[in-house]
Amino acid sequence: MASRLDDDAVRRLIELAKEGGSRFEVGDSECVGLMVRVTPGGVATWYLACKDNYGRSRKFLLGACAGMSRYQASVMCAGLREEVRQGSDPIADRKQARIEAIANRVVRVRVPKVEKVRVANKRNSVIEVGAVTYRHLMGMYEDVEGKGQRSWDRTRKRQHQLMSDMLDRPLVGITRKEWQLKFDRLKADKTGATSLWAYRTWRPIIVFGIARDLCPGDWLGAKVSSKGNHNVRQRYLKSAELSRLLGVLLARSGESHADIMRFILMSACRLSEVANMKWADVDFIGRTVTLPMTKNGKEHIIPLSRQAHGLLMGRFGSGKPVGEFVFSNGGRKALTDNWDRVRKMYHRETGVSDWHCHDLRRTASVCLGELGVAQAINDEVLNHAPAQLARTYNPAYKASLRGEVAKALQLLADHLDKISGGNVVRLVA
């Protein structure tokens, strides 16, 4: 319905809305596009109702009837209708203005001269807020949130490496621009993937600090693009390269780092999974290794080939193994450190460069494909998450493939034996 929306008409509409408990929208009979909306609570608001350039029916808020007369609303309605006819979108413009206001807002850190915080270090010291460094902030984050994260140990070490020049600087003296330049340098000097990883692990630490008024909120304005030189790595070892590497690994048989790399090639496991493998996970009778927690958050059972079983038996020896970890140098700590140094040593000894330990896992997968192993079995060997339909309709999907996985891993181990061909490299002391 439409009528002339003078003050008396609006007052009657408010009474009707309150009595009926429903909302009214009534158009003005004289001003094109002008309408009033009345809620059951008695709130009346002027609106413009029209179609935009795309033919869509739109409604734009003009203001409350209590603070705007009909004449004022009609003048505003006519002007706004003309702007919409010319292609303007007042709602989108207001959203963009809010986004820009938030982006330009600088949340400045408040640093009271007398305020102090407790930081995580050997002495559990209490220091002034103005002296808190990025290293201190990481320690506080570790105590509250980091310890509950499976990846925190690696994150902390890598952050210390990549952010070494920022670690001991007071937070109050670092600007957003300096962080942006830091990530830009990482992308230029390292890779896009390194820069992106550094940013993604840096951000939650900074959010933690902002919530405690330890650093400025505008730091989150630093950005790292996921595009550019962030390429998917596809390196794997060809047969000739693999033969040379296997020869050196066999010559160093019994050394923990060499045995870990051999086991990765025979099982296609991740380095972290093999390095953290414990004797309690090994079932010599059932010829399996059970990894209680893997990257996909699930338990993973690895059938052992004859060669992999023999490798573990050789490390076990005739007596009780030393320590809880399968691959350790007589200590109680997993071999998760110094891999860059060890890898470069094997680069020199084999003459094969530009490979990482994860490339050995990819090499195992490529070998399985070349041997004719089905992709579903290959994915299961790699412990990739099964497709959604398989998870939903066949909960025993992984168990049903275990026999095929065992055959594939034995086929892989035999293939590696053929490639090495007894090629044991003599190492010069």
Domains of the chain, CATH where assigned? 2-104 (3.30.160.390), 116-221 (1.10.150), 239-420 (1.10.443.10)
C-alpha 154, offset from chain centre: 14
Token representation of residue 317 = 């020896």
Query: Strand 2-3 vs strand 24-28: parallel, antiparallel, or unpaired?
Result: parallel
- CA nearest 256: which of 199, 194, 327? 327
Contact between residue 264 and residue 356 where contact means Cβ atoms under 8 Å apart:
no
pLDDT tens, residue order, the chain (429 aa): 567 888 888 888 888 888 877 787 888 888 888 888 888 888 889 888 888 877 788 888 888 888 888 888 888 888 888 888 888 888 877 777 776 665 554 444 344 443 555 555 444 555 665 678 888 888 888 888 887 777 788 888 888 888 888 888 888 888 888 998 888 888 877 666 777 888 888 989 998 888 888 888 888 888 876 554 445 678 888 989 999 999 989 888 888 889 999 999 999 998 888 888 888 899 989 999 998 877 766 788 899 999 999 999 888 874 545 677 888 876 567 777 778 888 889 899 888 888 888 899 999 999 999 999 888 888 888 887 665 544 555 556 566 778 899 999 999 999 999 988 755 444 444
Enter the pTM of the model: 0.53
Query: Strand 44-51 vs strand 57-64: parallel, antiparallel, or unpaired?
Result: antiparallel
Cα angle 329-335-337, degrees, rounded to a multiple of 5: 125
